[in-house]
Chains A and B, each alone.
Chain A
Amino acid sequence: EAAVTQSPRNKVTVTGGNVTLSCRQTNSHNYMYWYRQDTGHGLRLIHYSYGAGNLQIGDVPDGYKATRTTQEDFFLLLELASPSQTSLYFCASSDEGSLYEQYFGPGTRLTVL
């Protein structure tokens, strides 16, 4: 089964702090994604990428940067964290060969005080 890992699993920071969330997939998938999930909402797409060095803007990108350094690694950066970014963050990967079925990591719970 596809493997996607995320770190850290939990993170607490203060308003204005810098946070980097990491994601690694070992499935040789081309696509990687960052979502946030809040109570009462499904998954909202922040950024995604279809290969190393590529970045596509998602539906809720404000306040977030992302970087895809290799096929395996995708990072989400919050440079001036705000309490509104307190959420559960999921990374996922997919590939055209599997018709874009998405495989999710375990999630990172971020709290911004």
Chain B
Amino acid sequence: QQKVQQSPESLIVPEGGMASLNCTSSDRNVDYFWWYRQHSGKSPKMLMSIFSNGEKEEGRFTVHLNKASLHTSLHIRDSQPSDSALYLCAASPNTGKLTFGDGTVLTVKP
């Protein structure tokens, strides 16, 4: 069964700091990676997706993908208290079935 491992389990960064989250899949058939964000008491919402090797930037958020190692990372610069949430990584072999990791809890301290 495909596994998606995320690290760290939890992370505390100061306001204005950089947060770095990691995710690795054990399934060599995986093609697509997503990052979802879930604020406390809310449902998950897609934050960023990446399907090709390299880097993708959207505002303060940057995601990297290395397909050879099946590793993706999410970097949040100038972190804000509103970024405090559970960040979920998901992977899929280009089918409708996604596998989610257990998540990283990010806390941004004012």
- A contact residues vs B (CB 8 Å cutoff): 30-31, 35, 40-45, 48, 50, 56, 58-59, 90, 94, 96, 99-102, 104-107
Interface set of B (CB-CB < 8 Å, partner A): 1, 4, 6, 32, 34, 36, 43-46, 49, 51, 88, 90, 92, 95-103
Asked if A48 and B97 sit within 8 Å, CB to CB, the answer is yes
CA distance A107 to B32 in the complex (A): 25
Given the interface contacts A59-B1, A99-B49, A99-B51, does A45 sit within 8 Å of B99 by beta carbon?
A: yes
Q: How far is the CA of A28 from the CA of B97 in the complex (A)?
A: 18
| The one of A30, A42, A45, A101 that contacts B88, using a Cβ cutoff of 8 Å | A42
Within 8 Å CB of A107, what residues of B? Answer: 43
Verify B96–A100 contact, CB threshold 8 A: yes
Instruction: Give the docked Cα–Cα distance between A90 and B43 (Å).
Output: 8
Name the B residues within 8 Å of A101 (CB-CB).
34, 46, 49
Q: Is there contact, CB below 8 Å, between B88 and A48?
A: no
A100:B32 contact, CB within 8 angstroms: yes
A56 touches B98 (CB 8 A): no
CA distance A23 to B100 in the complex (A): 21
Asked if residues B97 and A102 are in contact (CB atoms below 8 Å), the reply is no
Given A99-B51, A100-B92 in contact, is the A45-B97 Cβ separation under 8 Å?
yes
Q: Would you mind naming 18 contact pairs between A and B with Cβ atoms under 8 Å apart?
A: A31-B96, A40-B102, A42-B102, A42-B103, A43-B44, A43-B100, A45-B98, A45-B100, A48-B97, A58-B97, A59-B1, A90-B44, A96-B96, A100-B32, A100-B92, A100-B96, A102-B98, A104-B45
CA distance A2 to B96 in the complex (A): 17
Bound complex: CA A45 to CA B4 (Å): 13
Known contacts: A99-B32, A99-B49, A101-B49. The answer to whether A106 contacts B97 by CB under 8 A is no
Cβ of B78 to closest chain A Cβ, rounded Å: 26
Do A56 and B97 have beta carbons less than 8 Å apart? yes
In the bound complex, how far is the Cα of B34 from the Cα of A43, in angstroms?
13
- The distance in angstroms between the C-alpha atoms of A56 and B95, with both chains bound, is 12
